[in-house]
Structure 1
């Protein structure tokens, strides 16, 4: 591979070119993504002609930002703009040695935590030079974000044997009476299979049609709550709040409390100390959720929590992220991590941290099954 005095490492082609070559001559060894790519020489020549040292710019991203911002003509010619974008990406890899290049819809450099499209960065520097310090702060915090993300990932890899408490009679879901809906041409909308494995149109992400298709799910919520109340020691408060939303508050004698709130078209789930979910998670046409898929999610979530499959770990890392995990008696598993819900106050977060620290590795105990009288 070629080398350069500007960047501390060997140069490689942009990953898309490498991937194309591997299709013709597959390598028996996996090829690591490059840390530095070639093709930035026109920017180097421009910098030298202007009296700047490219190596000094590569080592000081603040100085590089100022240089690019002072020369908006760099974006005028496609060749110079691409070379500048590649130089910027390589400089990010100097500032954060864990960053490597990839090509998705456009070239970008980053880690599993975050990635920077370099052409967009170049435009941002030229059009918004005042964002310099904000970008430098992001670069400075990036390594810690990677460490926190790895800590979250390690939690997701934990193996544990759970002594599930499963009701002796399986839950039976009531039949969902979902009416047919038609589009503007009168054709029946096949929710759940609208896109037939292809990508949805762009406008589908901002369009919500017939959210009332989720209304039948309320019968599943009622049935699940009745089932849990029958088989577990749990106090259930059913009410309608001042806004007209229905609320189901489940307080077990052991384990995580559950609060379900919602109008006819959606259900908000609060569980344990910090878990917050929505069913459906998104109502847009692109996601193409159905009443059946929402009922599946609710059934899996509520039955798993009652059986002892909920884990919450907080705070994780210096960024104080939340790790949640749900395991089902049938072997299902899902996990998530990130910032806690923005509506939670600092006092609530501190109280949750104290509570979760008293649980074994964040695992909530199973609800207590009711005694079965002979």
Structure 2
């Protein structure tokens, strides 16, 4: 066992990508997580030569940041820079005892919620010393982020003890008229399977081609509204929005109201107190969404909310997060968690808190079915 007078624990070799893959796939057997890695001796010697105490630097991330920022010449030697990165990662693990090392494309130290690439951080300290306070604030908030994540994970795994109320007749999606789109070379673009199961090219993440391919989803919005208006007791208001958007407000006698904002490139959903969603969530070429996949998610979400499958919990944890869950009639669905939109006023958040406190477990009731269809 290799130990150090600087870090309080056993030193391990730097993990490789294979070890990380085994941790993510535990069927291969447990793999020990490295909290402290070896190979930082050159940095210790560098610090001593510069008149610093390595043990003091290891115990104080602010002092370590200041030391590295004041000695950019340590990057001149690849060996010293590597040792400095290892020392820096070990210091982060010491500051946050749940953090461990892993290797993805480069060495990282982190937990399931946050991770720091140590080589990149080392460069940031030298090149962007003004980031000192944001970094220290992130380290200070990290334990709370972990606690919030654990609480949200538990909420997502809770059994849903709710009874959904679905319409007597299932929703029938209208046939989507999907036009063909071609690339710059005149080839038809096969949206939905462009990358054949492989990884998209890097530039695809910043490229958006033919966002109008989602325009057929507007017909699904119209059909959904007609379906809900037929089977549920709901008031429907249609109006024109900005930029040629079509806005539909659905106000049921019971349950969560829904507002749909449809354009040729997306459909926005606002429901309940704070639930917000945009479909598609991303229009970039890498995500490769299609009108069909957007229609699937739109139907799933809207029909679930009407049936009583929307849960909203706010505030969760010290960071006042919003936890939302969509439960579908087949027992499926999804959960999402995060901070409410930054543009939401404080009064709205206060009203949402009061409103959601009155809902059993945060579950909105189902919309009432019409007593007689018309």
What TM-score do you get using the length of structure 2 for normalisation?
Answer: 0.96
Cross-structure match for 2:41:
41
Offset, 1:198 = 0.5
> Which string of whole-angstrom CA distances, capped at 9 and with x for unpartnered residues, describes residues 152-207 of structure 1?
11111111222110111010000000111111111111000000000001111111
Moved more, 294-303 or 139-148: 139-148
Matched, 1:253 2:253: yes
1:319 aligns with 2:319: yes
Instruction: From the superposition, tell whether residues 303 and 39 of structure 1 become closer, same or farther in structure 2 (CA, over 3 Å).
Output: same
Distance in 2 of aligned mates of 1:355 and 1:292: 35
Q: What count of residue pairs does the alignment treat as equivalent?
A: 372
3-state DSSP of counterpart to 1:255: coil
- Looking at structure 1, the residues matched to 192 and 326 of structure 2 have their Cα atoms a distance apart, in angstroms, of 24
Measured in 1, the distance between the counterparts of 2:150 and 2:17 equals 30
Unaligned runs of 5+ in 1: none
5 Å-filtered alignment, 1:49-198, equals: 49-198=49-198
Q: Secondary structure at the match of 1:11?
A: strand
Q: 1-side partners of 2:159 and 2:216: how far apart?
A: 37
1:134 CA displacement = 2.1
Secondary structure of the corresponding residue to residue 344 of structure 2: coil
The superposition leaves residues 195-247 of structure 1 with CA deviations (integer Å, 9 ceiling, x where unpaired) of 00000011111111111111111000000010011011110101113543211
Large movers: runs of 4+ above 4 Å:
20-23, 26-29
Residues 1:284 and 2:284 are matched in the alignment: yes
Equivalent-residue separation in structure 1 for 2:121 and 2:231 (angstroms): 57
Q: CA RMSD in A?
A: 1.9
Q: Which residue of 1 aligns with 2:343?
A: 343
Deviation of residue 128 (structure 1)?
Answer: 1.6
Q: 1:98 and 1:263 mapped to 2: Cα distance?
A: 45
Q: CA deviation at 1:21?
A: 12
Partner residue of 2:14? 14
| 1:30 pairs with 2:19 | no
Q: Unaligned regions of 5+ residues in structure 2, if any? A: none
Contact 2:304 2:329 in 1 (8 A): yes
